[in-house]
Amino acid sequence: MKILLGAILILALIVIGFCLYKTYKEQNNLARTVKYVLFIGFIIVFFNVVSLYTTSKFVCHFAYSMYFMASDWLLYHLFKFSMEYVGLDFRQYVKRGYMIALLVADSLSIIINSFTEHLYELKEVNLFGGESFYELSVKPFFYLHYAIVLMLVVFCLISLFYRAFKSPRFYRNKYLLIAIVMIALVIMNVFSVTSAVDVSVIGYAVEAVCIYYCAFVYTPQKLLPETMYRVTDNMKIGVLLLDIDGNKLFCNKFATKMFDANEPMIDKKGETLEKWCMDKYGDSKIEFVEDRSFYLNGKEHVLKIQLQRMLDENNIHQGGYFVIQDRTKEIENAKREQYLASHDTLTGVYNKEQFISKSEKYIKRHPDEDLYIICTDFKDFKMINDLLGTKVGDMVLINYAGMLDEMAEKFEVYGRLGNDIFGILMKKEYFSEELFENKAEKYFAETGIETSFPIVKYLGIYEITDREVPVSVMCDRARMAIASIKGDYTNTVAFYDRTMRSNVKYEQELISGLSRAIENEELKMYLQPQTTKDGKLLGAEALVRWEHPEQGFIMPGKFIPVFEKNGLIAEVDKYMWETACKQIKKWNENGHEDLYISVNISPRDFYFLDIYQIFTDLIKKYDISPKSLKLEITETAIVMDVKRQMELIGKLRDAGFIVEIDDFGSGYSSLNMLKDLYVDILKIDMVFLRKSNDEERSKKILQMIITLAKQLGMPAITEGVETVEQVEFLSEMGCEMFQGYYFAKPMSVLDFEKQYL
C-alpha cells in the first residue's frame, strides 16, 4: 500500500515539477507568484512522501512540521496569486506585515511542536495488513493553525468569486475552475489531514495543473473569433481570413457587405470582388497590394486590396488574409486638395502658381508658336468695392472669370493672378482687342447694379520673344505695360516694349533717391508769377524742380507721377509747403506782406496726411497769415470723395486759407458740379487754350465756366496763357487773374525776387 501511495505522490511531484518547469519560461509578476505556489506545493508533497516512508518518529515529526508550515505559506502565496490573478493590488488590500507576522508565529509554533507536541502528537498505527503509519492526534491548539489556514482559503475564494462574477462569461470558467478545485482540496483536507493516509495531497497536483493552465494556457474557446468580430466590426476595412484551401475562416462585417450576393461589388468586366479575391488567392502564392476599381450600383469605388500569406515557423503556408480598404473618399479628398491648391477659390479658374506652371509647360512644348501673355486689370476696382460693396466686387470677378471660361477655346491657359488681375496665355493669331471689349452688363450680371456703371479694364500684353524669361516676369512686363497707361482715359490697351523696363529701373532710382534729395535740399521751389491782365504781380505758384547730382535738372512731370503712384508724393509736398511758408515769412519781414504763394496738394496727400493739421501748424510755426497761402486742390481729388473733401475745404476756408480748384475742366468736372463747390478760386485748366479742331466750342465752354463761377462768387484764374490774344479774350470773358509763359515762366526764387521785388 505504501508503494502505491508513494507512486501516486511521486506522480504528483512530477506533475507539479513539470508545471513549475513550464512556469519558469513565463516572465511576469503573476508567473513569479505562481512559481512560489508551485514550489511550495512541491515541498508539501515531498514531505508527505517523507512522512509516509520514514520509520523515525523524529523525522516524521519534522516532515509534518514542514508540511504544515508549507501549507501556511502556500496559502499565503495562493491568496497573493488569486489577488494578482484577478487583477487586484495585493499590497493595497492586505496588511502584509500583520499577515506575515501571524504566519511566522504559526510557523514557529509548528516547528517547536516537534518537541512540545502542543498542536498534535504522532501515534504509530498499523494499517493495511500491518504496514506502520504515523497518525496525527490533534490537540485544541491545532485548530488555531487550522483557523489561519481556513481564513486564507476564504480570502482566496472571495477574490476568485469576486472576479468570476464580475467577468464576462468567457472568462468566468478560468476563475471558477481554480476556486472549485480549491474548495475540493480543502474538503478533502478536512477529512484526511489527521488520518494516517492524507490523500488530499494529490489535490495539490491537480490545483497546480489548474493554476498553470488557467494562468498561462487557457483562453476561452469562443473568445478569439468573438474578439476578432468585435475588433474588426467597427473597422472600415474588410478583413477576410482564408485557410490553405481558400475556405473562409473569418470574414468581418465590412468584407461581408462588400461580398453581399444581392448587392455585390463588381469590376468593369462584371466579376464580383469576392470572386476576384478567390481567384487571386488560388492563383499563386505571392502576396500583393493593389489599387483596383470596383463598382457598387454603378458608383466607382477605388479599393486597396492587400493579400498577406501566413507562414509557420518552418515557412510552410498556413493560409492567408485579405485586407480591403475603400480609398474612394481618400482619393477624392486628395483630388479636392489638389484642386484647391491649384485653383482660385473665388472664381474657380487657375490660381497664380498654377497659371504660371501650366503656361511654362505650354511655352516649352510649343517652341514655334507666337504667343502673348496678357494681363487684365480693372480700372479703379477699389472704387467698385468701396462704392458697391465687396460682394458686388466678388461677383464682377466671378462673372469675368465665367466670360474667360466661355472664351476658353481661344486661350491656352488662363487664371487669376490676384486681386482683380487675370492672366492669359494665348496664340497671337487669336488675339483681337474686341475679344476683350468691356461688357458691363455681363460683369454686373446678377448683382442688380445698373449696367451704365462706368467699368473699364486695362489690357497689358507681352509678346513672348524670349522664351527663357520666367512666366512670372512675363506677367510683370504685361503689368508694366498697364502701368504705363494708367490714368489715361482714352487708351486701355498697351503692349510691353523694352523701354518700359528701363523706365521701371529709372523710377526705382528716383524712389530710392528721394529721402537723400530732401535731406540735401536737391528739391527746389520754383515760382511762377500770377498776375493781373497788365502783368501786375499778385502772387506765385510753387512748382517743384529736382536738381539731381547725377541726372541734372529734372522736371516734375518726370518724377511727380512716380511718387504719386506710391504715395511718396506726400513727402515732396510737405517739403514744398514748408519751403513756401519760410519764403512768405522772409518776404513778410522784408515788407512784402500782400504776396501769396500757391501750393499744390496731390490727391494722394489726402490719404496720407492730416492736411488741416499740417497747414494750421505751419502758419503758427512761421507766424504768417493763412491768406498768404493758396491751396491748389485738383478736381480729381474732390471727385474721389466729394462729401469728405468739401468738409475739409470748409474747415480750411474757415481757418482763413484760400482754396483753389486746380485743373478745372481737365477731368470729370461738369458745370453741374460747380454749384456744389464752395471754394475761393477756380483755376481753369490750360486744355481750353490748346489748339483744337473746335476752338469756338472750347471758347463757349470757357465763357460759360467763367461767367458761372463769377455768379457763384468764385473768381477764375486761367493757367497756360501764352499769347496776348488769349489774355485779351479771357479778360473780355471776365477772367481777372493769369498765369502763363506769356507773363513769365517758372523761375528760381532768386530770379523771382530780382525780377519782381
Of 591-630, which residues contact ligand C2E (CB under 6 A)?
600, 602
- Residue burial 486-511, b: 16+ Cβ < 10 Å; e: rest: eeeeeebebbbeeebeeebeebeebe
- Distance, CA of 479 to CA of 172 (rounded, Å): 81
**3-class DSSP assignment, residue 679:** coil
Binding segment toward ligand C2E, per CB under 6 A, in 51-59, 220-228, 553-561, 622-630: 553-561
Q: Choose from ligand C2E, Ca ion, none: what does 544 bind? Cβ within 5-8 Å by kind.
A: ligand C2E
Single residue of 569, 618, 659, 747 touching ligand C2E by CB under 6 A: 569
Q: Kindly indicate which of the ranges 14-22, 203-211, 275-283, 630-638 contains the residues binding Ca ion, using the contact rule CB under 5 A.
A: 630-638
Which residue, 72 or 663, is less far from Ca ion as judged by CB?
663
> Residues 392-397: contacts with CB within 8 Å, 24+ apart?
392/444, 392/447, 392/449, 393/420, 394/346, 395/444, 395/445, 395/446, 395/447, 396/443, 396/444, 396/447, 396/455, 397/346, 397/347
Residue 750 buriedness (CB in 10 A; 0-12 / 13-18 / 19+): exposed
Residue 722 contact among Ca ion, ligand C2E, none, beta carbon within 5 to 8 Å by kind: ligand C2E
Q: Is 573 in the site for Ca ion (CB under 5 A)?
A: no
Among 6, 402, 556, 667, binds ligand C2E (CB under 6 A): 556
Question: Which residues pair with residue 304 across a beta bridge?
Answer: 291, 325
Judged by beta carbon distances under 5 to 8 A according to partner kind, the member of ligand C2E, Ca ion, none in contact with residue 396 is none
Among 398, 401, 543, 709, binds ligand C2E (CB under 6 A): 543
Task: Verify binding: residue 740, ligand C2E, rule CB under 6 A.
Answer: yes
Closest of 221, 177, 14 to residue 82, by C-alpha = 177
632 part of the interface to Ca ion, by CB under 5 A: yes
CB closer to Ca ion out of 377 and 660: 660
Give the separation between CA 639 and CA 643, rounded to whole angstroms. Answer: 9
Residue showing cell 473780355: 732
Residue type, 253: K
Choices 65-73, 351-359, 728-736, 739-747 (CB under 6 A): range interacting with ligand C2E: 739-747
Task: Report if residue 517 touches ligand C2E, rule: CB under 6 A.
Answer: no
CA angle 77, 78, 84 (to 5 degrees): 85
- Asked whether the beta carbons of 639 and 607 are under 8 A apart, the reply is no
Q: Stretches 14-22, 509-517, 647-655, 663-671: which one binds Ca ion (CB under 5 A)?
A: 663-671
Name which position in 720, 734, 751, 756 contacts ligand C2E (CB under 6 A). Answer: 720
Residue whose CB is less far from ligand C2E, 320 or 746:
746
> Is residue 722 close enough to count as binding ligand C2E by CB under 6 A?
yes
The reply to whether 270 sits near ligand C2E by the rule CB under 6 A is no
576 in contact with ligand C2E (CB under 6 A)? yes
x/- map, 635-664, ligand C2E, by CB under 6 A = ---------------------------xx-
| Beta-sheet pairing, 457-463 with 716-719 | unpaired
Q: How far apart are CA 542 and CA 581, in angstroms?
A: 11
β-bridge partners, 547: 553
Q: Which is nearer to ligand C2E, 86 or 597 (CB)?
A: 597
Binding range to Ca ion, per CB under 5 A, among 96-104, 137-145, 550-558, 659-667: 659-667
Nearer to ligand C2E, 160 or 576 (CB): 576
Contact 579, 518 (CB under 8 A): no
Strand ranges (E), 635-714: 658-664, 681-684
- Min dist CB 723 to ligand C2E, Å, is 9
Work out how close the CB of 560 gets to ligand C2E at its nearest, in angstroms, rounded to a whole number. Answer: 5
Q: Which of 573, 624, 645, 688 contacts ligand C2E by CB under 6 A?
A: 573
Query: Does residue 557 touch ligand C2E according to CB under 6 A?
Result: yes
Residues facing 132 on adjacent strands = 126
Quick one: which of 662, 674, 735, 744 contacts Ca ion (CB under 5 A)?
662
Is 667 a residue that touches ligand C2E (CB under 6 A)?
A: no
Q: What is the DSSP string of 605-617?
A: HHHH--HHHHHHH
Which entry of ligand C2E, Ca ion, none binds 569, CB below 5 to 8 A by partner kind?
ligand C2E
- Cα distance between residue 675 and residue 373, in whole Å: 47
> Other CB atoms closer than 10 Å to residue 548's CB: what's the count?
17
Closest distance to ligand C2E from the beta carbon of 572 (Å): 6
Q: Give whichever of 449 and 599 is closer to ligand C2E, judged by the CB atom.
A: 599
Give the CA-trace dihedral at 47, 53, 55, 57, to 10 degrees.
Answer: 20
The C-alpha cell at 66 is 514542514
Joined grid coordinates for residue 575: 517739403
Between 57 and 524, CB nearer to ligand C2E: 524
Report the alpha-carbon distance of residue 517 to residue 644 in Å, rounded.
33
The nearest distance, CB 460 to ligand C2E, in angstroms, is 25
Residue type, 286: I
- Dist. CA 202–CA 16, nearest whole Å: 10
DSSP secondary structure code for residue 350 in this structure: B
Which range touches Ca ion (CB under 5 A), out of 81-89, 454-462, 577-585, 662-670? 662-670
Give the bridge partners for 718, in sequence order. Answer: 684, 738
Q: Applying CB under 6 A, which of residues 139, 741, 748, 754 lies at the interface with ligand C2E?
A: 741
Query: Are 142 and 199 spatial neighbours (Cβ–Cβ below 8 Å)?
Result: no
Q: Which of residues 578-607 bind Ca ion (CB under 5 A)?
A: 600
Decide: is 207 part of the binding site for Ca ion (CB under 5 A): no
- 86-95 long-range CB contacts below 8 Å, 24 or more apart? 86/159, 86/160, 86/162, 86/163, 86/175, 87/163, 88/159, 88/163
Q: Does residue 744 belong to the site contacting ligand C2E (CB under 6 A)?
A: no
Is residue 724 close enough to count as binding ligand C2E by CB under 6 A? no
CA atoms within 13 A on the CB side of 622: 23
When CB distances are held under 5 to 8 angstroms depending on the partner's kind, the choice from ligand C2E, Ca ion, none that residue 602 binds is ligand C2E
Residue of the chain from 555, 704, 712, 757 that contacts ligand C2E (CB under 6 A): 555
Handedness of CA 641, 643, 646, 650 (dihedral sign): negative
Residues 6+ apart with CB under 8 A from 248: 240, 241, 242
Footprint of Ca ion on 332-351 (CB under 5 A): none
CB of 540 to ligand C2E, least distance (A): 11
Total residues in contact with ligand C2E, by rule CB under 6 A: 23
The nearer residue to ligand C2E, 207 or 719, going by C-beta atoms, is 719
- Give the rounded distance of the alpha carbon of 115 from its chain centre: 85
Contacts with Ca ion: how many residues (CB under 5 A)?
4
Per CB under 6 A, 746 contacts ligand C2E? yes
Residues that bind Ca ion (CB under 5 A): 600, 632, 662-663
Residues that bind ligand C2E (CB under 6 A): 528, 543-544, 555-557, 560, 569, 572-573, 576, 600, 602, 662-663, 719-722, 739-741, 746
